[in-house]
Chain A
Amino acid sequence: MVYQSYTGRWEITQDNFGVDILRDFVEAGVLPFIKIMNTSRKSLVAVLRDWRVSPPPDPNFRHNVWQRLHPQIPASWPAYLRGHAVAWMLVTVLTVSAAALTGQAAAKARVRADREQMTVTYLVDLDPRVQAMLKP
């Protein structure tokens, strides 16, 4: 039971605690409040029944929906590149480096092969041992 002690403080006694709490709420006016809510609900239902929404047509509605569904699709190529700048930069550096090294290696291999061929041609002209084998 809730009561105000002689010191002026509100205190709760332990006997019949649940019953006392319920009675206190009822006495405090909860039941009248519920009655008021029931009355208000009836009027709310009436308001919702009569409520009509007519928003203005949005020409970008479909586009905006797709944008929200696929936010990763950029509007333009530069925007796409900007969105993946780091990744593409890395791929570009690696690819161009690999291509440059391949080109350099191919050229060096070609030069080596040419030099090898010319060294042999040169020595064939100089070396009588080889010429003796070549001549009939």
Chain B
Amino acid sequence: MKYLTRTLAVLALIAMAAGFVCYRLNWEPILHAAAAKGDAMEWLRADFHLTETQYAAIQKLHAAYAGSCAEHCRMIQEATKVRNALQATKTADSAAMLAAEKNLQELRTHCETAITRHVREVAALMSPEEGQRYLALVLPKIADFDHHAAPDLKLNRSS
């Protein structure tokens, strides 16, 4: 009985060691560190194996895009306010309501087109394989944001 117990204990230790080694061989600590910090650019660099040149070019592209992104954001906010104000008015003209809704949707579509173009430009700066993987990861989410009001974003945790 004591030999059985001893053997089982040693076997459990060996199994735990094997599991731990396989865990460490398969996890990506840099990716995990970036996720822990919430550093998207660091994640991009680590997960898509960017060279310094690629990383610098992508940072430059992001900086250039940030201006238009802020402008799109402001326009969407304004259009949303107009639409909401019309909805709140009991005597709102239906034509004006439709026009406000249409304007908001156009802005959203324009925005989606812009962000899609931007991520394609970013992907073009990566190696072909990594670029494909990057697009496969982000494009479905971009489409999903508009249709499902950003279900994955956990908005209540954002500041």
Residues of A within 8 A of B44 (CB): 122
Cβ-defined contact, A121 with B40, below 8 A = yes
Mark B1-41 against chain A: 1 for CB-CB distance below 8 A, else 0: 00100110001001110111111111110011011001010
Cβ-defined contact, B145 with A123, below 8 A = yes
Distance of A124 Cα from B157 Cα, bound (Å): 12
A131 (CB) vs chain B CBs: closest residue:
B73
Distance of A74 Cα from B111 Cα, bound (Å): 77
A101 (CB) vs chain B CBs: closest residue:
B22
Count A-B pairs with CB separation below 8 Å: 142
Residues of A within 8 A of B155 (CB): 133-134
Q: At the interface, yes or no: B69 with Cβ under 8 Å from chain A? A: yes
Cβ-defined contact, B119 with A126, below 8 A = yes
Chain B at the A interface: SS class: helix
Cβ-defined contact, B22 with A104, below 8 A = yes
Distance of A130 Cα from B138 Cα, bound (Å): 14
Residues of A within 8 A of B14 (CB): 92, 95-96
Within 8 A of A (CB), among B64-110: 65, 69-70, 72-73, 76-77, 80, 108
| Given known A-B contacts A103-B22, A119-B137, A95 and B11 have beta carbons under 8 A apart | yes
Pairs A-B, 3 closest by C-beta atoms = A103-B22, A107-B26, A103-B19
Residues of A within 8 A of B (CB): 74, 77, 80-81, 88, 91-92, 95-96, 98-104, 106-108, 110-111, 114-135
